[in-house]
Structure 1
């Protein structure tokens, strides 16, 4: 999914002028209509039909927008007091911000949500809980990391191609950088990775903290060695011309995948669908999946929340609880590759035995389950999405060789401090 600057801080401003269509049911209808707003496809449509079949008094309407539009619409609706869906998906990067506005959401604890807490990995449950046990949302998927790669391109460079051997090739990001050097020296005609930004994001998502301190939410980017190390490693790979320089989910990125322009990409589970859609049938079986350097990490994952303005909170909660229940999380992984955030599900034999035909029958169930077991989520600060673009732009300047890494880093830190004033 596309990442963008945060919009939630404007909740403190006056109500926006744009108003979305209300999700309330018409008085003339006998059924209760519930709207579910998501960014991108969550794979929910078949589940909506099943829920309607099992609950004849409920009609479920999906509302799908891209990542940016979804968040703009949600903040507008929350600020204006109308227009939000009965159930709104919120990406994990925005959860720290909405924790500051619990008054705009239903406390799911009022419906007994705490009784379900053991379903989720403890860190996932904790992400959706605000002060005093206020339950903001129920976890959907997680973005456990792996490495997607093109065996044919690695073979051209004389590098290993079998999953286990490829994983041994890059147990660390330093070894990954060494592999990039070897790949580039072979002159295959392709680049080693899609972008320095993808490498950097994967690396910082493996660190316990990045821009802000867990203890007091203070800005620590200039004091955090993990962040600077990720910037230097990713920047060096980019500055050497070893990346295709394409931003994920853009048209250029899609074309690069279709044309086989790069050999590796750090990929969360949900991204496999985007890669296969961009690559098309002509690239089926040309990709494979193995372990990411560092073994794990998380990029993405969402929660289902209930804005207070909804007319049917009880029914909405019951639907949200059902959509995030183990049986439905299992179905979503088996049908759409959406990684469950519940250990009982990603340890389920059917999930563990899941393979992906597009990715050379890679055992994606086992790979992503292993990543999930080792996952240690990093802390996201309240202003995380305000300062992160400064570092992304700085890395882009390094990748395009407009600036050296140290100069770009210093400018990013200075720019971030300016944003925070």
Structure 2
């Protein structure tokens, strides 16, 4: 799943579902499938249901944090053993693993090509390999963005607190930065945002290209105006001391949410659960959700793949197929705030009608569905995962006062070029 960047652990239990061909042998012989994932996939109840509906199938779950999960996949593919039957790959790692497409089952062989209409073209194409001839993975969620904000702090700053009026404050990220100045001049008990890195990621993910050219995968970080704009907006907010300087999904970030240390955070749907868990019941009703500056943008989203190592490829595919069907994606949103990547799912009445009492009754279904509709593809280069961290680290140096914005940019570009070479 969800993006770029979801690194919290989810205990994923046993699997469930209505699978077609290939089930009878499983019931006769007994098959143990394994699934490897990370973060907030929300699969608990679905996995149990799947297993209950298929008595001959047992599911072993494997859960690791974000980075460890993807490093393990690379190691297992290289060794030719150890991979799970179903493996989740986050979107920023898909370009890297497409280079090893021969180590994944071409799901066309099980009829995956007939599922194409379930997803928007951009999401479907992210799961393809070998110039589109191979279906390498089936899309799970996506990380359509909104902006979570603290109503009480906005009131203290003399700013609007009604979500539509708040969204009107920041049609662009430059406007968002101006609101940060107004907020910081009035409120001393909280910072405007959680981190420069979070702002930077949200701005950058609204751009069609980041560090590499969509045309030929060449390195363009040193000349991409969208990248420099995102770095400058986020860096200036950080340099002014308007961020809480907490890295998302760390313990200090959780503590900052609980203590009310910041007032805004760009939040994909899957993050709502994490904010609620970190904030606890005492912060219920203090948060709300508005449209994000710039509209759209994606932070997260994954694909379910089947490595060729699997001894039960058909059963693994059936499981991945069922987990990514619209009916299951609807449930994942209504139960766990996991935003569907399929229009039939995020446009479903159950999704559109969902509100969240913790976030002041915000109509999160409509907010995130609108974000999903405006989402545009964001090209991830083959070495995106190696290059991306250099800019986040550079912003950390700006936030802490260790480097000027320009010096941090120059160093980040130099390090990124080296990482890409």
TM-score, normalised with respect to structure 1: 0.92
Q: How many angstroms apart in 2 are the aligned matches of 1:312 and 1:189?
A: 56
Asked if the contact 1:2–1:67 (Cα under 8 Å) also holds between the matched residues in 2, the reply is no
| Structure 2 unaligned regions, length at least 5 | 6-25
Q: Helix, strand or coil for the counterpart of 1:275?
A: helix
Alignment map for 1:221-236 (pairs within 5 Å): 221-236=221-236
Q: Give the superposition deviation at 1:73.
A: 2.1
Name the stretch that deviates more: 88-97 or 38-47: 38-47
Asked if the contact 1:3–1:67 (Cα under 8 Å) also holds between the matched residues in 2, the reply is no
Q: What residue in structure 1 maps to residue 72 of structure 2?
A: 73
Q: How many angstroms apart in 2 are the aligned matches of 1:412 and 1:402?
A: 14
| Structure 1 unaligned regions, length at least 5 | 6-26
Q: How many angstroms apart in 1 are the aligned matches of 2:247 and 2:2?
A: 9
Q: How many angstroms apart in 1 are the aligned matches of 2:281 and 2:105?
A: 44
Q: How many angstroms apart in 1 are the aligned matches of 2:69 and 2:410?
A: 33
What whole-Å deviation, never above 9, does each CA across 1:345-386 have from its counterpart, x for those lacking one?
111111100111211111110000000000002111001111
- Alignment of 1:106 onto 2:66: no
- Alignment of 1:218 onto 2:211: no
Asked if the contact 1:197–1:392 (Cα under 8 Å) also holds between the matched residues in 2, the reply is yes
Q: Give the superposition deviation at 1:103.
A: 1.1
- Alignment of 1:333 onto 2:323: no
Q: How many angstroms apart in 2 are the aligned matches of 1:384 and 1:263?
A: 30
Q: What residue in structure 1 maps to residue 254 of structure 2?
A: 254
Q: Give the superposition deviation at 1:53.
A: 2.6
Alignment map for 1:281-296 (pairs within 5 Å): 281-296=281-296
Q: What residue in structure 2 maps to residue 62 of structure 1?
A: 61
Q: Give the superposition deviation at 1:3.
A: 7.5
Q: Give the superposition deviation at 1:274.
A: 1.1
Q: How many angstroms apart in 2 are the aligned matches of 1:312 and 1:303?
A: 19
- Runs of 4+ with deviation above 3 angstroms: 1-5
Q: What residue in structure 1 maps to residue 316 of structure 2?
A: 316
Q: What residue in structure 2 maps to residue 124 of structure 1?
A: 123
- Alignment of 1:271 onto 2:271: yes
Name the stretch that deviates more: 411-420 or 365-374: 411-420
Asked if the contact 1:2–1:249 (Cα under 8 Å) also holds between the matched residues in 2, the reply is no
Q: What residue in structure 1 maps to residue 280 of structure 2?
A: 280
Q: What residue in structure 1 maps to residue 14 of structure 2?
A: none
Asked if the contact 1:153–1:188 (Cα under 8 Å) also holds between the matched residues in 2, the reply is no
Q: How many angstroms apart in 2 are the aligned matches of 1:390 and 1:73?
A: 22
Q: What residue in structure 2 maps to residue 174 of structure 1?
A: 174
Name the stretch that deviates more: 350-359 or 367-376: 350-359
Asked if the contact 2:86–2:320 (Cα under 8 Å) also holds between the matched residues in 1, the reply is yes
Asked if the contact 2:88–2:303 (Cα under 8 Å) also holds between the matched residues in 1, the reply is yes
Q: How many angstroms apart in 2 are the aligned matches of 1:76 and 1:414?
A: 28
Alignment map for 1:233-248 (pairs within 5 Å): 233-248=233-248
Aligned residues: 400
Q: How many angstroms apart in 1 are the aligned matches of 2:364 and 2:273?
A: 12
Asked if the contact 1:195–1:244 (Cα under 8 Å) also holds between the matched residues in 2, the reply is yes
What whole-Å deviation, never above 9, does each CA across 1:309-348 have from its counterpart, x for those lacking one?
0110011101110010011001111100100000011111
- Alignment of 1:139 onto 2:163: no
| RMSD value, Cα | 1.8
Q: Helix, strand or coil for the counterpart of 2:142?
A: strand
Q: What residue in structure 2 maps to residue 361 of structure 1?
A: 361
Q: Helix, strand or coil for the counterpart of 1:48?
A: helix
Q: What residue in structure 2 maps to residue 203 of structure 1?
A: 203
Asked if the contact 2:2–2:270 (Cα under 8 Å) also holds between the matched residues in 1, the reply is no
Q: How many angstroms apart in 2 are the aligned matches of 1:323 and 1:259?
A: 37
Q: Give the superposition deviation at 1:299.
A: 0.4
Q: What residue in structure 2 maps to residue 378 of structure 1?
A: 378
